[in-house]
């Protein structure tokens, strides 16, 4: 029966969907996620284009279904070490990292984090705000177990503390916990390792990291999210004032031969969404989106852009901003750009600037590709040598890819491809 089992690597929306589909076909699934919770990037989003549905309202029921499904074993905070064997008869070695918390005892009350004295930058909130050294990955995390960050915990670094152990009534804290290595037998593998955000700090012309009121799109998503660091209030980082004029700069690092030549595929739409949501938060607010070409290719996407213009005070300027400076008197970012329709150079001041940064394959793709013995393309996305003949295949039989790790794509495409990859796995298992 072990052959009727599959390994899914990556617990974003693609990995979650593939796991649920496989499990519903009666296949045993091991879902391996490197972070302390499943959810992936979608868990960081406020709403989703083009319907403005609440992202968590779509995602959370799927996360819970994964956790409760009798055919799914969730291995969070875990990574693949090695895959041996062939399609139909693989063996995988997986390391489940120590959380320093007993998962079956933690009730997720959060008292430990309240009392923990160590604050660190909160990656889930894209660096806006802080979390503690003992933390829950995000409020709706699945599993909802806390985790101790060994890089920052005082006790784990030989200093005097032990506060969380003392405060935990469930006796769940265990500083002695060790990593666990598991070996599982599976017939097929799906890689759904998603994407990372391109580091825009080296693109100094845009001023991110120097000009306080220049944010990335992911920082903005977290800011407008009710569960985010500002409780959903739109505020300028420099003075907490509500902004009145926003600017979005598209293709920051994408479609740029100095950085990433490819189109990140979702940014025209997420910038439009963020501008619409900003207007809903602050009805007097207007937005300008500086774009190269408007890529609104999807059902209802062009209509969404039109609605943004007609109903939400969003202006689109075809331009390539070359530089962002700061007005030192009011901390307003100033965008210097060429309007490529009217062939004019201009400088315009805004309250906040949001950069649509390039989206890149997950940093861990190189090492995971080595372990899986599969090829990547020139950018680091999972390559698909058989092309249209097997769109989800990789260079190794029995190993499939789906979602953003294959190429930039939005949530609906990731879900469709996840279901398709699951059906390919079912084919492999049926014939094994």
Ligand X SMILES: Cc1cc2nc3c(=O)[nH]c(=O)nc-3n(C[C@H](O)[C@H](O)[C@H](O)COP(=O)(O)OP(=O)(O)OC[C@H]3O[C@@H](n4cnc5c(N)ncnc54)[C@H](O)[C@@H]3O)c2cc1C
Q: Is 32 in the site for ligand X (CB under 6 A)?
A: yes
Please choose, from the candidates 102, 103, 131, 94, the residue with its C-alpha nearest in 3D space to the C-alpha of residue 7: 94
Closest distance between ligand X and the C-beta of residue 46, in Å? 8
**How many CA atoms does the CB half-sphere of 73 hold within 13 Å?**
14
Question: What DSSP element (H or E) covers 399?
Answer: strand 399-401
* Strand ranges (E), 25-132: 28-33, 47-48, 53-54, 72-76, 78-86, 89-96, 119-121, 130-132
Binding residues among 254-283 for ligand X as defined by CB under 6 A: 266, 270, 273
Closest distance between ligand X and the C-beta of residue 375, in Å? 16
Pick between residue 22 and residue 172 the one whose CB is nearest to ligand X: 22
Binding residues among 72-111 for ligand X as defined by CB under 6 A: 79
List, as one string, the DSSP characters of 96-119: E---SB-TTT-----HHHHH---E
Q: Is 35 in the site for ligand X (CB under 6 A)?
A: yes
Closest distance between ligand X and the C-beta of residue 134, in Å? 20
For the chain, what percentages of helix, strand and coil (3-state, to nearest 5) are there? 30, 30, 45
Find the binder of ligand X among 5, 8, 14, 133 (CB under 6 A): 14
Find the binder of ligand X among 116, 147, 163, 217 (CB under 6 A): 217
Q: What angle do CA 404, 290, 212 make, to 5 degrees?
A: 85
Pick between residue 50 and residue 173 the one whose CB is nearest to ligand X: 50
Q: Helices (H), strands (E): how many in the chain?
A: 9, 23
Q: Is 368 in the site for ligand X (CB under 6 A)?
A: yes
Interface segment toward ligand X; rule CB under 6 A; list 132-140, 154-162, 360-368, 424-432:
360-368
Distance of CA 200 to the CA centre of its chain: 16
Pick between residue 159 and residue 366 the one whose CB is nearest to ligand X: 366
Q: Is 21 in the site for ligand X (CB under 6 A)?
A: no
Closest distance between ligand X and the C-beta of residue 131, in Å? 17
Find the binder of ligand X among 404, 407, 424, 425 (CB under 6 A): 404
């Amino acid at each position: 029966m072990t052959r009727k089992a599959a390994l899914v690597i990556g617990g974003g929306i693609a990995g979650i969907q593939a796991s649920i589909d496989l499990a519903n076909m009666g296949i045993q699934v091991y879902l391996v996620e490197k972070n302390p919770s499943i959810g992936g990037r979608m868990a960081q989003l406020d709403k989703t284009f083009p319907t403005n549905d609440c992202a968590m309202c779509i995602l959370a029921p799927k996360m819970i279904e994964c956790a409760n499904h009798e055919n799914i074993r969730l291995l969070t905070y875990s990574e693949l070490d090695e895959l041996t064997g062939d399609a139909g008869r693989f063996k995988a070695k997986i390391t489940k990292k120590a959380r320093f918390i007993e998962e079956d005892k933690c009730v997720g009350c959060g008292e430990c984090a309240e009392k923990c004295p160590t604050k660190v930058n909160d990656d889930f909130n894209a660096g806006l705000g802080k979390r503690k050294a003992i933390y829950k990955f995000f409020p709706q995390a699945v599993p909802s177990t806390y985790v101790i960050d060994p890089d920052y915990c005082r006790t784990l670094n030989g200093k005097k503390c032990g506060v969380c152990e003392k405060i935990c009534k469930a006796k769940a804290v265990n500083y002695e916990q060790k990593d666990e290595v598991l070996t599982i037998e599976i017939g097929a593998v799906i890689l759904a390792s998603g994407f990372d955000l391109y580091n825009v700090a080296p693109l100094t012309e845009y001023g991110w990291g120097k000009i306080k009121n220049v944010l990335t799109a992911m920082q903005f998503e977290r800011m407008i999210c009710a569960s985010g660091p500002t409780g959903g209030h739109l505020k300028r980082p420099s003075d907490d004032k509500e902004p009145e004029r926003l600017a979005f700069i598209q293709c920051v690092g994408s479609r740029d031969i100095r950085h990433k030549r490819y189109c990140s595929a979702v940014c025209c739409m997420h910038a439009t969404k963020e501008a619409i949501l900003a207007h809903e938060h602050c009805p007097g607010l207007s937005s300008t989106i500086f774009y190269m070409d408007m890529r609104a290719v999807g059902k209802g996407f062009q209509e969404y852009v039109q609605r943004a213009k007609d109903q939400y005070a969003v202006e689109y300027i075809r331009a390539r901003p070359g530089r962002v400076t700061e007005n030192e008197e009011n901390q307003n970012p100033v965008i210097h750009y060429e309007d490529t329709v009217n062939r004019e150079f201009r400088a315009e001041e805004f309250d906040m600037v949001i950069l649509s940064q390039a989206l890149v394959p997950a940093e861990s793709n190189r090492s995971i590709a080595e372990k899986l013995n599969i090829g990547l393309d020139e950018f680091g996305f999972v390559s698909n040598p058989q092309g249209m003949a097997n769109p989800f295949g990789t260079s190794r039989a029995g190993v499939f890819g789906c979602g953003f790790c294959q190429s930039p794509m939005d949530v609906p495409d990731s879900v469709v491809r996840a279901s398709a990859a699951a059906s390919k796995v079912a084919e492999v298992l049926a014939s094994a």
